[in-house]
Structure 1
Amino acid sequence: MASLLVSLSCLCAAVVGFPFRTPLDLDVTPRVTVLSSGLQGCRRFQSSAVNYSTLLLEADSERLYVGARGAVFALSASDISASSALTIEWEASSEQKRECVLKGKDNKTECFNHIRLLQRFNSTHLYMCGTHAFKPLCAYIDEKEFVMSSQPEEGRDKCPYGPTTGYTALIIDQQIYTASQYEFWSFPDIRRNSPPPSLKTEDAPTRWLNEADFVGSALVRESLGSSSGDDDKIYYFFTEKNQEQSSTYSHRRVARVARVCKGDRGGRLTLQKRWTSFLKSRLTCSLPEYDFHFNVLRSVFVMHGLTPQDTLFYGIFGLEWKNVKASAVCRFSLPEVEEAFQGPYMENQGSGSNWREYVGKIPDPRPGTCITDSLRDRGIKVSTSLPDEVLDFVRRHPLMSKQVQPVDRRPLLFRRTTDYTHMAVHMVQGLDEQMYHVLYMGTDEGWLHKAVDVKGQLHIIEEIQLFKEPQPVNNLLLSTKQMSVYASCPSGVVQLPLSNCRRYASCYDCVFARDPHCAWNGAACVDVMTQANRSALIQDIQHGRTGCEKTQYNVVQRSRSVRVGDDVLLQCELSSNLATPLWTLNGTEVQGYDLNSGFRTGTDGLLIIEAQQDQSGLYTCHAVENNIRVAVVTYNVTINLDLPPSPPVKPTHSLFATLPAPSQGLSSESSSSEGPQKPLLLLSPKNMEAVYLSLITVLGALCVVLAVVLVYVGFCLRVGQRGKYSLRAAAAAHPSSKRSRKQHRNSSNMELKTVSSHCNGNGFCNGVSKRHNADIQDDGFLHIVPGEGHTSPNKEPPPPAPPLPPTSQFPSPECDFPNGLSATLPSVLRRMNGNSYVLLRQSDSENTSPLCYPFADELNKILEKRKHTLLLPRPDESSV
């Protein structure tokens, strides 16, 4: 029954999309999306190694040390792609790998030497530890020569056995502090390994850590400027099994922060070789009003301030359910953490997990505190001098009752479709003299989000695709000296500039970004740090809208000439995901949501339906963002009553006459109204009707059997076309006069025309290749005629279509239709729920070129590329 309930809840979550209501003010959309192909100033490092997970940045030596599987690299921090990279290869032996396989471990992932620890040990050496095929080893590295300076030593007390086990480590004053589950049969532990005395956490009679999964640790020098002679402290962040199970605590796992004192030496008899200062408390990151509770801590970043009390802890939180993607970012302050450790204790009043707040007497000195001047005055100078009563209380009361609340009492950010993995933060001073926190957050699919904290809420400036293939971001580092952010992934390391202000082409685009690094100087968007004179710069981080009222900007201008009755698509691409399009005709807003208005508006353009002469005029597409309307592109549209006069043709005995190409009667650029002439339509519908009636009469009189055969063949062709889209029939049914248009509309056959001058980067106009269609200068069209349409019983059947030109007129087609036309699906669909016209192709398998991909494969590729694009909150019902 339990498994059935879980399955039903998962099914409901998948159907509904998310089991809770969404806080719209926190579910922030990145303003700009930058694909990997459009990265500027990007440098990469890749080698034969994989799993680049450990980073160490040395600002003085300008080196970036990278730990991977079986190797350690020393790269230039200014340019990681430079050829001056140094390498230490350190892989497990074949014998060790065989022993690892015999232990039942994976010989493709686990039975290798994954570098888990890489930090500075002293002024001349680095220290590293690796899993070494489930037999951890550690070694020293001579920084100058970049070689291992000694034989590897035992590392099972300093490094976990597996490459994915939760782990954190610090080397402080040549002492190694680590936290992990070191062996697969042992309990999680926080240890100080060397030099002696070594310390660890307690596991009896009260277990201090319960299936803990560590994500980070930090040293806070609280002894600096302390009036009480306080000690430095080390804070650990992890997720563990919940110990406070009750009617109000239903979560299986909770996020924790623990603390130990750097000067702790353990107890004399009680808690010998154990921490005497260990305390832990719960970190809460939730939205009770929406019933959101983020209990899994994924990553933490410690931001040190001018004083220890200014220290901030940024945490990335997730949900317990692995099948639901969601992330939240919460911020905690050191004073709030200390307040929790000074509050009441929790007590386990049974053999189970029934923890309640302790209300009894608390021994003196207060259990879990560090050695201070007041204790030294009482003769307690080290932890081994603490009374046994105090140490016994510490052993049984490691958990605090008070929870640590976020500084803002709610998350800074909530993302319901993103799993953040790591984060880095730094402070930037804006032109308004305020300090802003800029966050860089990596995702599980290889994207980097840059955000700025404005009044307790994050604005995501941009999302950057680091790799084409989705892969998680393993680590992030920032360098203000190099003005770079470094991101490590399984396949390599990426170096990006902290900002790329040149991406913003106008003043409004620069101001809307709200990037503290960027400002408008009157001609371009520039990096503030590079400007000596900042008095004339324009920047508005607080609101992202003011300062550009008097600036000039260029608006793209285009002209269109179309025929009455045709459909016209005016394209408008917006660079910002937060902007919405607004169309005006001669300064008046176009209402494109009424079916009788003659217009349809979408995220990619404006569609004029069956254009009339009174719809001629100046169309302008505006981008509306932050309640500011900015013109993007204008179209001077001219709608003509008739086609341009056809050039004279020589008399011919053929049944066909030369008429202008279809592109002349459809929308086109003003500079391309003429095209090649092709024999496509009959000379006159009235004359052709008489000719065909005469031919049918003669054939019927000559041979009745032939008439029966023709009827049979016609029936077979109609059945064969059922449910298919016929480009040949559509071309033949194209109306060339008022009378034929009327007959066409009275028929039950439906016709869909698509007209667009928008061309993507691959040289295709709305899916139709320009280079393959010499007769279409700027626009493509598609007629969709369902095969099962029936003619009116009072009308004669329409004449059969003449054959189209052979395919040899279209050189080197990539994908040929049976009728010789060539079409390709668009390479990028920015938003599929707008009024975008897409040419879809259906044909028989025997007519498909071997160079073409199946239709389903092409569509799947498009949908995969569209995974990270924005969905409109209200889909358009007219979407194609």
Structure 2
Amino acid sequence: MLRQFASCFVALFSITAIGYLSEGSRVDLDATPRITITYNELSSVSRFSGRVSNYSTLLLEDERGILYVGARGAIFSLNSSNISQRRQKAIHWEVTMRKQADCIDKGKNNQTECFNHIRLLLRFNETHLYVCGTNAFSPLCVYIDSRTFNVSSNVEDGKDKCPYDPARGYTGVIVDGTLNTATRYEFRSLPDIRRKTHQLLKTEESNLHWLNDAEFVSSALVRESTNIAIGDDDKIYYFFNEKVVEESSSFLDKTQVASVARVCKVETRWRRILQRKWTSFLRQDYVCYMPFYEILRSTYTLDIGTWTQLFSTGLSSCMKNMEASTICRYNISDIQKVFEGPYMEYQDSSRKWSRYEGEVPKPRPGSCITNELRNSGYNSSQDLPNFVLDFVKLHPLMYEKVYPIDKQPLMKKNLIYNRIAVDRVKALDNVHYDVLFLGTDNGWIHKAVVIKSSVHIIEEIQVFKDPQPIENLVISKKQNSLYIGAQSAVLQIPLSGCSQYHTCYDCILARNPYCGWDGDICREIHTVGNRARMTQDMQNGNGGCLNSTADDAPVKKVRTVLKGNDVLLQCDLRSNLARPQWWVNGSDQMEDGKGHIRLGVDGLLITDTLLEHNGEYSCYSVENGLQSLVATFSLNVLLELPKEKNYSTSTSVGQLPTPASLTASKMQFVYISIITILGGLCIVLCVILLYVSCQQKRKGIYAMRNSCSPHVELQTVSSHFKEKSDDMNSYNEMCLQIIPGEAPTSSPYKIAPPPPPPPPPLPSEFTNGISTLPNMLRKMNGNSYMLLRQNEETSLPSYNSFTEELSKILEKRKHTQLVEKLDESSV
């Protein structure tokens, strides 16, 4: 019986208001991605984009090695092994100018809506594909010969198969050559589930609507007839959102619920009561956590070879400005049980739906034809009696709701997941794990694995530089790839990502079911024939690396600072789940806030260093009970710079050679030359001061004016100077005017010594690790982290002492005063 197959799961990926999630949940739902990979760090990525946009419709045919892509005005055939190769084929299907003009006349947007958006791309038979496009609000469908990738001559009207609006919710599936779709058809029609054969089959449009303003998300074929003795039929499930039907509840007037409906694969339209209507249509509501506050976003069906399927769906909630995401897992037998009753009935007096307490007719309304019904004379839906059809027409809604396993979500995140894809992987422990690929609304992919009853996020990947919603995800087991469709391009990334784990600890802590440590590198499990030497710990994520010797010890770095300065010892942790632990001299653990010590997620900061801070410092990454050495430092604190390390300044004669290249006699000559030049400069300055003191004996005042002349001219200004003309030619010999500028080189009294060149750089070991440290603020999908990163260097940066910095500031201030504001009394 179907109920006995409890191993089939239906996982619903959903979004609910974070404020309504239970604070007393039994598991930690707010999972943090272990590793963050930014766009610039991406590797092994293939990309395809053309001159069009909106690459949202994907069809993968793994056996043929082809990925079909439907975009805006074009269909592409790509090589699934590498979509960036230039062997792709393209069919351009643009709208005509007349159709575009008609679309504009309908009041539609010429920038987004009046184009041909490909909404349906499915395999029709062995030789042809079936494609439908909006065609500027005039839908059309065509057949494409997959052998030549050319459009066939016959073009069909798509008004019963494709939505007019490119933004309208839509889903479709071809079963046994028959197209089954669900959307809002025509221009102002009601939502509908249709099957297009030689005659149309659709839902009921009476006053008591089977669908209440439904917005469709996806559909799935569940082969429930496989290996079942009762002879049941396969069923098509439709997932959608709709308005709440309880009209008496005022606070629910504008809320939505997530619903699922089903119909039988084999059904013949009824000729009397339900003409052109479904006889097996039933629907039910399901919740992830909070009823009436959830909106379905995405579903995924995992086919594992039998009728058991794994569904993953998305629900979202927008309570004011609050948005969050949750993942729920369902048992498919629970969904089937709800479809067996009891039913709901609409009460006209109270204007609401309530449980139906009357007698249920036989055969049970809404069921598919089984062997038991065939033995009773009901070989098809046309044989059902009228009272059964009347009951189906008035009781399409089931009373019970479907709840997730354990009645709680697996995970919640304060961001929006647009799409989900699921892969089932067999790990080294022979257990199958479900790996979830979650696409966000800003261009990130979260890869997570379901372990027991919780979700561990292995990594988050920024796949698009410019934020944009992830619109489609497709998994290829054959190519070991994930295909990502978005507005600007299609991407292909590896499913596993084992090459990014460089140590045994990193490989084990990732808990990536695709990857295992073989003693030397982290590699994909399915590529290894003999797995005896491989190590993996999916359940605990911390075992198997104790005997590993492949992890290289980090290179010891040297930090040398003067006493009283600050020094930063950086410890860059790759994992967001790890915490740093510092040890000095191999025995004493560092504590934050003790003395001059400041501990952060990025390093150890020692302020106002003392001599007792000398020692060997080691940083360990602590995660899930494992410790791994990340960085080691040797810190030297000095009272002053060593004498042999002092360097003299160069003179205007030329750059002095380094001390190591001079002999003792040459050094003496250099020092004598410096002293001689400095003595000469002192004599020149004394002569200038004597001349200025003589000029002060004369009566008068000094005036200064700006000039563009490159010379300095001195003119005496008498007490009657203000009465004279402003013309420069009228100045007499008693006027003194100071014009800032450069003195001519011919005058020995106006020669200013050039500023000395900077001293040669000091040895690289004199550094405190702070001067080269940039800051970066990174926001990871709603989680903000302040990260301090320091470049790894083979030669350490130069040390800038406090004396040198002070000299530079004083020198800059001296020149600024002479140019900007001259002190008259000092002349």
Report the counterpart of residue 455 of structure 1 in structure 2. 452
Cα contact 1:572–1:633 (8 A) shared by 2: yes
For 1:442-841, list aligned pairs within 5 A.
Answer: 442-552=439-549, 553-556=551-554, 557-588=556-587, 590-594=589-593, 597-645=595-643, 755-756=770-771, 758=773, 778=797, 801-803=810-812
Partners of 2:217 and 2:650 lie apart in 1 by: 84
**In the TM superposition, what whole-angstrom CA distance separates every residue of 1:581-618 from its partner, at most 9, and x where no partner exists?**
11111234544432x51111111111011111111111
Letter of the aligned partner of 1:580 in structure 2? R
Q: Give the superposition deviation at 1:375.
A: 1.4
Partners of 1:266 and 1:480 lie apart in 2 by: 39
Consecutive unaligned residues in structure 1, runs of 5 or more: 1-15, 661-678, 684-690, 710-752, 784-797, 807-817, 820-880
Q: Give the superposition deviation at 1:423.
A: 1.1
Partners of 1:267 and 1:799 lie apart in 2 by: 95
For 1:54-133, list aligned pairs within 5 A.
Answer: 54-133=57-136
Letter of the aligned partner of 2:810 in structure 1? A
Letter of the aligned partner of 2:519 in structure 1? G
Partners of 1:474 and 1:799 lie apart in 2 by: 57
Letter of the aligned partner of 2:231 in structure 1? G
Report the counterpart of residue 407 of structure 1 in structure 2. 405
Question: Aligned with 1:473: secondary structure?
Answer: coil
For 1:273-292, list aligned pairs within 5 A.
Answer: 273-286=276-289
Structure of higher RCO (CA pairs closer than 8 Å, 6+ residues apart): 2
Q: Give the superposition deviation at 1:268.
A: 2.7
Question: Aligned with 2:322: secondary structure?
Answer: coil
**In the TM superposition, what whole-angstrom CA distance separates every residue of 1:307-362 from its partner, at most 9, and x where no partner exists?**
32x22211122114373331111222221110010121111102775111111111
Letter of the aligned partner of 2:442 in structure 1? E
For 1:153-302, list aligned pairs within 5 A.
Answer: 153-193=156-196, 195-244=197-246, 250=252, 252-286=255-289, 295-302=294-301
Consecutive unaligned residues in structure 2, runs of 5 or more: 1-16, 659-673, 679-685, 705-767, 777-787, 818-827
Partners of 2:814 and 2:123 lie apart in 1 by: 74
Residues 802 and 403 of structure 1: is their aligned pair in 2 closer, same or farther, counting only changes over 3 Å?
same
Partners of 1:26 and 1:648 lie apart in 2 by: 60
Partners of 2:649 and 2:139 lie apart in 1 by: 92
Cα contact 1:293–1:319 (8 A) shared by 2: no
Residues 271 and 491 of structure 1: is their aligned pair in 2 closer, same or farther, counting only changes over 3 Å?
same
Report the counterpart of residue 384 of structure 1 in structure 2. 382
**In the TM superposition, what whole-angstrom CA distance separates every residue of 1:814-858 from its partner, at most 9, and x where no partner exists?**
xxxx99xxxxxxxxxxxxxxxxxxxxxxxxxxxxxxxxxxxxxxx
Computing the radius of gyration over CA atoms, which structure comes out larger, 1 or 2? 2
TM-score by length of 1: 0.73
Cα contact 1:299–1:421 (8 A) shared by 2: yes
Partners of 2:562 and 2:586 lie apart in 1 by: 23
Letter of the aligned partner of 1:525 in structure 2? C
Count matched residues. 696
Q: Give the superposition deviation at 1:780.
A: 7.0
Q: Give the superposition deviation at 1:34.
A: 1.0
Residues 69 and 82 of structure 1: is their aligned pair in 2 closer, same or farther, counting only changes over 3 Å?
same
Residues 703 and 464 of structure 1: is their aligned pair in 2 closer, same or farther, counting only changes over 3 Å?
farther
Residues 84 and 353 of structure 1: is their aligned pair in 2 closer, same or farther, counting only changes over 3 Å?
farther
Residues 802 and 234 of structure 1: is their aligned pair in 2 closer, same or farther, counting only changes over 3 Å?
same
Residues 589 and 462 of structure 1: is their aligned pair in 2 closer, same or farther, counting only changes over 3 Å?
farther
Q: Percent identity?
A: 44
Q: Give the superposition deviation at 1:142.
A: 0.6
Question: Aligned with 2:153: secondary structure?
Answer: coil
Q: Give the superposition deviation at 1:449.
A: 1.1
Question: Aligned with 2:605: secondary structure?
Answer: strand
Residues 525 and 651 of structure 1: is their aligned pair in 2 closer, same or farther, counting only changes over 3 Å?
closer
Q: 1:348 aligns with which of 346, 356, 360?
A: 346
Cα contact 1:311–1:333 (8 A) shared by 2: no
Partners of 1:635 and 1:754 lie apart in 2 by: 11
Partners of 2:286 and 2:18 lie apart in 1 by: 27
**In the TM superposition, what whole-angstrom CA distance separates every residue of 1:441-463 from its partner, at most 9, and x where no partner exists?**
11111111111110021111111
**In the TM superposition, what whole-angstrom CA distance separates every residue of 1:617-638 from its partner, at most 9, and x where no partner exists?**
1111111111222110010111
Question: Aligned with 2:391: secondary structure?
Answer: helix
Cα contact 1:40–1:500 (8 A) shared by 2: no
Residues 634 and 648 of structure 1: is their aligned pair in 2 closer, same or farther, counting only changes over 3 Å?
closer
Question: Aligned with 2:200: secondary structure?
Answer: coil
Partners of 1:799 and 1:447 lie apart in 2 by: 47
Report the counterpart of residue 32 of structure 1 in structure 2. 35
Report the counterpart of residue 420 of structure 2 in structure 1. 423
Cα contact 1:284–1:294 (8 A) shared by 2: no
Partners of 1:458 and 1:376 lie apart in 2 by: 45
Partners of 2:269 and 2:612 lie apart in 1 by: 89
Q: Give the superposition deviation at 1:247.
A: 6.1
Residues 395 and 780 of structure 1: is their aligned pair in 2 closer, same or farther, counting only changes over 3 Å?
farther
Partners of 1:277 and 1:769 lie apart in 2 by: 66
Report the counterpart of residue 55 of structure 2 in structure 1. 52
For 1:313-392, list aligned pairs within 5 A.
Answer: 313-321=311-319, 323-350=321-348, 354-392=352-390
Letter of the aligned partner of 1:33 in structure 2? T
Letter of the aligned partner of 1:88 in structure 2? I
Partners of 2:568 and 2:697 lie apart in 1 by: 51
Report the counterpart of residue 856 of structure 1 in structure 2. none
Cα contact 1:317–1:330 (8 A) shared by 2: no
Deviates more, 1:328-337 or 1:78-87: 328-337
Cα contact 1:205–1:396 (8 A) shared by 2: no
